[in-house]
Amino acid sequence: MVEELDVDLGGRPVLRGVRLRVDPGELVGLIGPNGAGKTTALRSVLGLVRARGGRVLVAGAPSRPGRSLIGYVPQRHEFAWEFPISVEQAVLSGRTRRIGLLRRPGVADWRAVAEAIDRVRLGDLRRRPVGELSGGQRQRVLVARALALEPALLLLDEPFTGLDLPTQELLGDLFTGLAGEGKALLMTTHDLIGAMESCSRLVLLNQRVIADGRPEELCDPQLWMRTFGVSDRSPLLRIVRAD
């Protein structure tokens, strides 16, 4: 999917020689410190960031903005929650690429919206203004909005940040279930324990791919020390060794 990707932002190197693949049925965790290039990698897959070198392929074709095959769940602060729309309308906005800007949604669109809302268990709040939702409910709206597109590939940018444990568990079960249905999912996360428990593979990233493998294969502390720039006394390594 991502081949030898180089990206600069503001004249500063952010990604170098990144190779990354996500196959149908996989939930891949993209792990690294702040500033490692994780969000930039997702935006490159979306075609929103111009690469200096390399290429991004989705289903064998070059990625470009607006591809209907890709669903994207941004971090919550990137959505305008003050906008006066309901949960249902917010989720419907995820279908814009399929519907078209000047067309009205049809039966298939409303069916996809209803199914997406039900999958994140917000059916009883479908008429609620998004500005009245809690943080966990807002995150579920963003997930439903991406699912309404019926994508083959789902990109998740820190989907568990700031959520209570029940919501984390609900979304974690949903993501593993989607992978079981044959969806391809790529997720950035700081939840190392959760990622080790649920992800098919982990990709350790810090401008470059440091390691790529199943969680049980990434038990060498040196890999995590190189990725996060920590010493051998870091509490982080206790998590790795515990796995």
Helices (H) and strands (E) in the chain, counts: 9, 10
pTM of this prediction?
0.91
Residue by residue, pLDDT tens for the chain (243 residues) are 789 999 999 889 999 999 999 999 999 999 999 999 999 999 998 888 888 899 888 877 777 766 667 999 999 888 889 999 999 999 999 888 777 777 888 999 999 999 999 999 999 999 999 999 999 999 999 999 999 999 989 999 999 998 999 999 999 999 999 999 999 999 999 988 889 989 999 999 999 999 999 999 998 999 999 999 999 889 888 877 765
Determine the pLDDT at residue 123.
95
- Tokens representing residue 3 in the block: 């081949």
- Beta-carbon count within 10 A of 137 CB: 17
Domain positions in the chain: 22-48+163-243, 70-150
User: Is beta strand 27-31 parallel, antiparallel or unpaired with respect to 70-73?
Assistant: unpaired
Q: Using an 8 Å Cβ cutoff, are 122 and 147 in contact?
A: no
User: Is beta strand 2-9 parallel, antiparallel or unpaired with respect to 70-73?
Assistant: unpaired
Give the distance from CA 140 to its chain's centroid: 13
Strand partners, 57: 62
CATH of domain 22-48+163-243: 3.40.50.300
- Closest by Cα among 191, 196, 188 to 218: 196
